[in-house]
Chain A
């Protein structure tokens, strides 16, 4: 059976999110799969052109509608469900965009969803983490039915470029609801790398003690060209905004270097970083669970260690 895979592109209207290239890698792990990306947007040309460059695609479909100006799951889901008809597997990234949308698509299609796919073993067999990554579950769908999935982006490298897939406009005749309206989005403007794609991440926990003290991480991050993350405890305490949270219910990341500063290492946090290439832990409690996963551990007072690191790297 040849897998026919539809990937729903994540984008902000201008730029294709790297999560989509990671979904393509996931799809490409099935040899011989026919892979198609769908771009639903108000104006899809720019994003579709970026998508078409990803290697290994059969084509890129665009669905243009002014209702797609903001990614509303209730509006996008009927369009994706309509596009899904000829496909065996419908994928989106396991980001807040994809998690919100794909399960609604699964509901419309009356299809099972495999959440957080970390490996595709066959067109019907998938592996995924459960219990905050404390167990890995292999699931098998019946060969006959369609499957919806979200892709655990940290498990896959972005697909390379160099492709030139044809772009096809699709006109859909599906009623779209007006019951859900976008009001606003507020995001802290930052020149730092994006947390989900950064090669280096500096993360802080409750031990930072205050929002003011948390700022010493920004200065170190800027010296290292790193993104800044935070534990749930630090976000709950108001030291850092929610979009910085790393872990089971925050972002799952896979940087080259992850530096956990003043983070004890609750299981819920560790699940968000276990794909990091190298984990460094700095904590004054030598028994902190973070040291069990750290490649390099340093026990000590972070308020002395961080300035010392900064001086040493100039």
Chain B
């Protein structure tokens, strides 16, 4: 069966104003809205569109994390994924551990394409796709803004600093989604009901034979330095004067 595996992550919703805990042990997540990482939604949307045009038969979503992550897996099922895989893990889960877990799922499911978001908006690491591609010894095409499949290859347009780069990669491959790859669909209420009946399998890291190593200790969290309050000017002439005073013109 022609399968696509999509990795998703549960993150603090992008609209939430992030605050660091007073004791510096983390950021406040209690009672805060949680969502599917926006880049992972784009990854899933792309997989669904590939399936809808007949180039894949099944879309599987997977996540690694605590039990609460199943809410986001259900959201992904409501968007249209066929089934979900949940690798349970608590605490700090580093990209190497996530990539190892995904690799185990890849060995099991044999997808021809793996799509992830290019980064999670919580830790902003931006590593998992590349680490997975390295461990799997397969191609990677990160920051994708266009994806075309032809036979055994994918042609991927990437958003790079210089502009747009196009790569051709043999399949299977790992693609990471950038913002402009697509616009994810909204979930409709009947789909949320249907999603409750879709299959969701759970695993433990141990059952997959993976050790939950933590190689980077999180020492402390601090709020960012604040910029000093500036001045208001009333027109272009005052603006020019202010810039001249600062030696900027």
Q: Which of A's residues lie within 8 Å of B, judged by CB?
A: 12, 72-74, 77, 95-97, 99-108, 110-116, 125, 129-142, 145, 177, 179-188, 196, 200, 232, 235-236, 241-243, 248-249, 251, 256-257, 267-268, 274, 278-280, 282, 291, 293-300, 305, 308-309, 312-313
Contacts and interface: CB of A to CB of B under 8 A. Distances in A.
Contacts, number: 249
A232 to B, nearest CB: 7
Contact of A295 (B140, B218, B230): B230
18 contacts: A74-B133, A96-B161, A104-B133, A104-B140, A113-B127, A132-B18, A138-B218, A181-B167, A181-B168, A183-B168, A185-B166, A243-B161, A249-B179, A257-B243, A268-B14, A309-B240, A312-B236, A312-B237
Given A104-B134, A179-B138, A296-B231, A72 B224 contact: no
A99 B142 contact: yes
Nearest to A101: B130
Contact of A107 (B132, B163, B221): B132
B143 A100 contact: yes
Contacts of B149: none
B64 to A, nearest CB: 16
Contact of A135 (B118, B155, B219, B224): B224
B205 to A, nearest CB: 16
Contacts of B129: 103
Interface residues of B, number: 81
A248 B124 contact: yes
B161 A248 contact: no
B168 A298 contact: no
Contact of B130 (A104, A139, A312): A104
A26 to B, nearest CB: 17
Contacts of B124: 115-116, 129-132, 248
